[in-house]
A and B are shown apart, each in its own frame.
Chain A
C-alpha cells in the first residue's frame, strides 16, 4: 500500500436544485449536511465499500467522483485523484479519465448495455477510443477480456447481442467493458442487486478475484452491510448524506462504534439463528422514530421461536398444481411450456410456507396460479387447489370473486403495485366496495383508517398519493389493501425484495405481528434464504418449475438433501467475522 491514497475525497457536498410544487427553485442536500461534508479515501489495491440505505447519498457520492451527475447537481469540496481535483477538472479531461483510469459498473446490466450493438463492439469501443487500437486488435483484446471474466466460448460470444445473454453474463460483460482499458479504480454501484442469489455470489467472487489479480482499487457500493464483508477491506457507512463510521472490516464487524452500524448489522435476518423478531434501526437509534413504534415486547419471548402447531386447521391444500404457457412457434404452431409442474403442499392456519428459487424457477407463476391471476388463454392449468373444500381451479368465474377475497396477493415492487392516480384512501376502500364489505362509504373509510394504523401509518395518509411515501411505507399500504378483505391466505411475492435491508426488517416484523394477531397463513416467495428462514415454518425449493425439496425450515437448512438446495445455501453471503466466531 502506498502512503498517499489513490483517491481522496475531502468534504464533499452535493445538492440538487429542484423545483417545488409552486415552481420555486430550492436546493436539496444529497451528500453532506450543513457544514459536515463527506470524506473518505480509497488506497491503491484496496476495496472500499460504501454502505447505506437508499437515500443515504452513497451512489450520488460515487457518481460525483466521475462527474456523472445530472445537470441540476451542485458539487463542492475536493476529489483528489493523482494530485488533481476532479471537481474542477475540465470536461475533456474527465472524458479521458472516465473508462481509462476510473471505470464504472452499474446495478442493472440490462439497461446499461446497448441492445443494438453486439457485445464485442461494446467492449471494443473504449479500447479503440482510449487506446487507439485497430479493429482487429480490439477484437482480440475483447475476447481475452471475456475469457478473463469467465464467459465460456469468448470468441463466439463476441458476436452475441445483450438479449442473448443471461443477467449474470451481461454483468460479466459490463465488468469486462469496465476493465478493458485497465483502469486503476473500479466503481461498482450495487453490481449484484439485480441478479439471482447464486449468480450474485459468482459476480462477487469474480470482482474479488479481479481486484486481487490486477491490483485494482475498488469502490463497492451496497445497501447490505452483511454482504460486503467478504469483498471489502474497508467500509464507509453512510446515512442521510453523512458518514457515520469508517474503518476496516474487522474493526467494524467486531467493534462497531456507531449505533447505526450496529443496527444495520443486527437487522439482517441470518441463516444460523431465528429470532422472534428482527432488530429495527429505530430500536437501536435513540433518535425519534419516524413511524409509530411497535408495542413494547418481552425480550425473553422475542428470542423464543414461535411454535408452528401441526394441529392447526388446513386452509389451503394444493395437489399436483401445474401451469403451462403457449409459446408461438411459427405462424400457427404453438408449443407448451411447462412453467410449473406437480406442486403439492398443505398450508395450515397461522403457518408460513417459504418458496425459494431463482428467477425463472416458476415460484411467482405458482403464486399467481393459486389466485388464477394468469391470463386464462395463456395456457392450461392442472391439478387441484382446495380452499375450504372448494377447488379454486374448477370454480365458475362468478364464484371465483368470492373466493378471491380469501386469498390475497402482495406484489414485489411497491412502486408499481399502487395506482399512482388513486389516493391511499381510494386504494384501500376500493376492495371493500367491490366485495360489499361495510354498509356505506363512511364505514369503509373508517375501516381503511384502522388498517392504516394497524400497519403503522398515520390516518392522514388517506388523502395522500403513493408518490408521497417511501418504499417501505408503500409496501405497508399494499399489505393493508390486501388485509381490508380479511383474507385467510396471503401470497407474498418477494414482498421485501425491493426494499432496503433496514426497511425489510420493519416489514418482516409487521408481517409476523399480523400473522400472530390474525392467524394468517402466508405463502412467502423469495430468493433470499435468510429472509425465508426468518419467516417460514416449511420451505419448498423450486427449480425449473418443479419442487426440488420440501421440508421443515430447520431440517432443510441443517441437512439439505438436494444438490441445488446446497448450492442456494452456499450462495448466501457469510459474514467474515461476527461477534460469535463460527
Chain B
C-alpha cells in the first residue's frame, strides 16, 4: 500500500484532463488537487476508494469471483481461522465405492450384469466433481458458496448500482436545477412543482411504486434511485445557478452576445461543478445504502444476483444458527466503502471550495 498515493495521483490526473497540452494553466482542478493532497485522511480515503474501483474492474471483467455461484464447500462452512465444524453428518464419498464390489445377484436381477458398468460410470462422474471442502477463507453460506467470492461480486453490484444511480440522479438534478435556476419565472415554477410533488411522497413508497412497475434487476434499481434521488442535487444546483446568473461575469457574457445555453454551460457550469461533484459523491453513499435496504426488502437485484443487500437478507436466518460470517463480510465491505467515500467527498469539498483557498 506504500505506493498508493502515486497511483491515486496518476489516475486522478487522467480523470480530469483540464489542462490542454502545451498550455500553462494554473487551473481550478490542479489547484484543488494540490490542496487535496495536503489532506492525509482524504488521500487515504481516496486510495481505499480507488482500491474498490480496481476490485470492481477485476470482478466485472471476470478475473475475480467469476464462480461465486458454485457450491464449493459444505453448507454453512465456517471460516478457515475458526477450523472445521465438528460433525457435519455427511460422509458422501464412501457409499458409492462400497456398492461397486457387491455379491453377484444376476439371478434375481436382470440388470445386475450392467451394475458394474454403471458403477464405473458413476465413479467417473464423481471424479469430475470437486470434493466439497469443510472450511473456506471467510466461510460459506447455506448453499456452500464462498462468502468471500460473494462479497466481491456483491461489492461490484452494490457499488456500480450506487455510482450509476448517482450519475443518473446528477444528470436529472443538475439539468433541471440549471434550467430552473437560470430561467426562473414560469419555467422555474413548473420544475419547482415537480420537485415539491416528488418530495411530498415518502421515498420508500416511491421505491415500492417504481419497483412494482419496472420489475426487479440492476437497471431497474438504477432507474428507481435516479428518478427519486435527484432532488437534493436539483436543489443545490438551482440555488447556485440563481446566484451565478446574476453575477457580473454572466451578464458580461450576455453583453458580448453569448446565448443562454453558452452562459449556462460554458460560463456558469464550470463555476458550480465542484458543488455538483461533491453532491454526487454524497449521492453515491446514499444510493449504496438505499440499494442495501431495497435488496433486503427483496425489491432490489434479481434472485440470481448477489449484492450487499441480499447477503444481509440471507444472513438474517443464518444468524440464528450462529453463522455470522456472511453478515460480517457484507457489513465490513460496505462500512469501509461508505466511510472512505464520505471522507473523500469531504476532502474534495474542502479542496474545491474557493472560499477556503490559500488558508492554512
Interface residues of A (CB under 8 A from B): 17-19, 21-23, 25, 72, 371, 373, 377, 401, 404-405, 408-409, 411-413, 416-423, 430-431, 434-435, 463-465, 468, 478, 481-482, 485
Contact = CB atoms under 8 A, between A and B. Distances in A.
Given A413-B248, A419-B249, A419-B267, A405 B257 contact: yes
A-B complex: 10 closest residue pairs judged by Cβ atoms: A431-B256, A416-B248, A417-B248, A421-B270, A409-B255, A411-B248, A419-B249, A417-B252, A434-B257, A463-B24
25 contacts: A17-B360, A18-B358, A21-B31, A23-B35, A23-B38, A371-B255, A373-B254, A408-B256, A409-B251, A409-B252, A411-B248, A411-B252, A417-B251, A418-B249, A419-B249, A420-B249, A420-B354, A423-B23, A430-B258, A431-B257, A434-B256, A434-B257, A465-B26, A468-B26, A482-B255
A472 B262 CA distance: 27
B26 A481 contact: no
Contact of B37 (A23, A408, A430, A431): A23
A408 B255 contact: yes
B260 to A, nearest CB: 11
Q: In the complex, which of the residues B37, B248, B266 has the most CB atoms of chain A within 10 Å of its own CB atom?
A: B248
Contacts of A478: 252
A482 B256 CA distance: 7
A479 to B, nearest CB: 11
Contacts of A72: 359-360
Given A17-B360, A21-B31, A421-B270, A434 B258 contact: yes
Contact of A21 (B25, B26, B256): B26
Interface residues of B, number: 33
B199 interface: no
Contacts, number: 89
B271 A21 contact: no
Given A21-B31, A434-B262, A404 B257 contact: yes
Given A401-B257, A405-B257, 14 more contacts: A373-B251, A404-B255, A408-B255, A416-B248, A416-B249, A418-B252, A419-B249, A420-B354, A421-B271, A423-B25, A431-B256, A434-B258, A465-B27, A468-B26
Contacts of B89: none
A145 to B, nearest CB: 35
Contacts of B252: 409, 411, 417-418, 478, 481
A416 B254 contact: no
B154 to A, nearest CB: 39
A444 to B, nearest CB: 13
Interface of B: 23-28, 31, 34-35, 37-38, 185, 247-249, 251-259, 262, 266-267, 270-271, 354, 358-360
A435 B257 CA distance: 8
A416 B360 contact: no
Main secondary structure of the interface of B (DSSP, over half): helix
B25 A463 contact: yes
A437 to B, nearest CB: 11
A463 B262 contact: no
A377 B248 contact: no
Given A411-B248, A420-B249, A420-B271, A19 B24 contact: no
A405 B255 CA distance: 8
Nearest to B263: A419
B270 A19 contact: no
Q: In the complex, which of the residues B25, B38, B253 has the most CB atoms of chain A within 10 Å of its own CB atom?
A: B253
A456 B117 CA distance: 101
A463 B35 CA distance: 22
B240 to A, nearest CB: 13
A404 to B, nearest CB: 5
A435 B271 CA distance: 24
Contacts of B249: 416-420
A465 B354 CA distance: 14
B357 to A, nearest CB: 9
A25 B359 CA distance: 10
Contacts of A405: 257
A434 B253 CA distance: 10
B253 A373 contact: no
A72 B358 CA distance: 11
Contacts of A377: 185
Contacts of B27: 465
Nearest to A418: B249
A418 B359 CA distance: 23
Contact of B256 (A22, A25, A421, A481): A481
Contacts of B37: 23
Contacts of B34: 21-23
Contacts of A418: 249, 252
A413 B246 CA distance: 13
A18 B358 CA distance: 6
Contacts of B248: 411-413, 416-417
Nearest to B259: A434
Contacts of B254: 373
Contacts of B271: 419-421
Nearest to B37: A23
A430 B24 CA distance: 19
A342 B35 CA distance: 54
Contacts of A413: 248
A17 B358 CA distance: 10
Contacts of A423: 23, 25
A418 B255 CA distance: 12
Contacts of A412: 248
Contacts of A417: 248-249, 251-252
Nearest to A425: B23
B31 to A, nearest CB: 7
Contacts of B251: 373, 409, 411, 417
A367 to B, nearest CB: 10
A149 to B, nearest CB: 33
A338 to B, nearest CB: 21
A405 to B, nearest CB: 6
Nearest to A71: B360
A527 B262 CA distance: 33
B241 to A, nearest CB: 14
A468 B254 CA distance: 24
A430 B255 CA distance: 12
A434 B267 CA distance: 14
Q: In the complex, which of the residues B23, B256, B257, B360 has the most CB atoms of chain A within 10 Å of its own CB atom?
A: B256
A103 to B, nearest CB: 28
Contacts of A419: 249, 253, 267, 270-271
B257 A416 contact: no
Contacts of B358: 18-19
Contacts of B360: 17-19, 25, 72
A529 to B, nearest CB: 24
A430 B253 contact: yes
Contacts of A481: 252, 256
B211 to A, nearest CB: 40
Contacts of A371: 255
A65 B35 CA distance: 33
A468 B256 CA distance: 23
Nearest to B186: A377
